[in-house]
Amino acid sequence: MPSKESWSGKKTNRAAVHKSKQEGRQQDLLIAALGMKLGSQKSSVTIWQPLKLFAYSQLTSLVRRATLKENEQIPKYEKVHNFKVHTFRGPHWCEYCANFMWGLIAQGVKCAGLNSEGLYRVSGFSDLIEDVKMAFDRDGEKADISVNMYEDINIITGALKLYFRDLPIPLITYDAYPKFIESAKIMDPDEQLETLHEALKLLPPAHCETLRYLMAHLKRVTLHEKENLMNAENLGIVFGPTLMRSPELDAMAALNDIRYQRLVVELLIKNEDILF
């Protein structure tokens, strides 16, 4: 009759064999799932072709984006703008590029109140926004819009949005509009960025440069998302219809484009460092 020690030893051996077989089956399942094939000595490992393709696609994507960023950047200005009309009623006319623009390039975009909750989403008091309009009509670039005059940053952001809405030609022009909308409908991320980059080339120089300043500013806004609760998607909702207007008179077609307008601005903000 076997002793208690020998029975315990056999039980331990059976448990070890069972565990070894279980680990072997798990390894086989993992190998099958990953598409890896092991030789008889399990020394040579062949990576499954789809994994190679996936790695290749990721590398290709990085190369395409790097090429887009370094070799095909939108040309910068070599001459300072000369905005003749500095009034709110009449958007600025630049003698250099012969386009209606309001002077955001000349003044730059000031990043004040970046931590303000709902920045650009929250509306300021219309009467005070009207005061800002009158200040620009009266004083032009010398208008005082400092915090000493307007403590509520939403008044300034409201005036900024109103400027863009009042442009006779939208910042994203009617001619370039279809290409921008086309880019928003593309599913492949790399192709989408390339199409968006081509759309930027269709903009007049003043429009493209102003868009570059604005997107850089909005990108900084998103860096304070924890405080202001404004990410690229939220800013896209606010600025999509502000910067883009459908050339189509059909109200239903224009309504259908709103989601693509939002996506265009969202993509411009997120990829500002690549596209501009």
Is the pLDDT at 246 greater than 80? The verdict is: yes
**Residue-wise pLDDT tens digits, 176-220:** 999 999 999 999 999 999 999 999 999 998 889 889 989 999 999
Band of pLDDT at residue 100, cut at 50, 70 and 90: very low
| Model pLDDT, residue 182 | 97
Distance, in Å, from the CA atom of 11 to the CA atom of 62, rounded to the nearest integer, reads 56
Statement: the pTM of the whole predicted model exceeds 0.85: no
Q: Which of 7-16, 44-53, 70-79, 95-104 has the lowest mean pLDDT?
A: 95-104
**Residue 137 pLDDT:** 75
Average pLDDT over residues 48-63: 58
Per-residue pLDDT at 69 exceeds 50: yes
Position 23 pLDDT exceeds 70 = no
- Give the per-residue pLDDT at 30: 44
Most confident range (mean pLDDT) of 17-26, 34-43, 87-96 is 17-26
pLDDT at 114 over 70: yes
- 207 phi/psi in degrees, rounded to 5: -65, -45
pLDDT: which is higher, 105 or 240 = 240
Token pair recorded at residue 264: 């265009």
- Per-residue pLDDT, averaged over 37-58, amounts to 51
Residue type, 5: E
Residue 273's φ and ψ, nearest 5 degrees, are: -75, -20
- Of 46-50, 99-103, 167-171, 229-233, which range is least confident? 99-103
User: What is the per-residue pLDDT across 24-41, written as a single tens digit (0 to 9) for each?
Assistant: 555 554 444 444 444 444
SS3 label, residue 18: helix
Does residue 65 register a pLDDT over 80? no
Position 108 scores a pLDDT of 42
Q: How far apart are the first and last CA of the chain?
A: 86
Average pLDDT over residues 233-258: 90
Task: Write the burial class of residue 226 (CB in 10 Å: 0-12 exposed, 13-18 middle, 19+ buried).
Answer: exposed
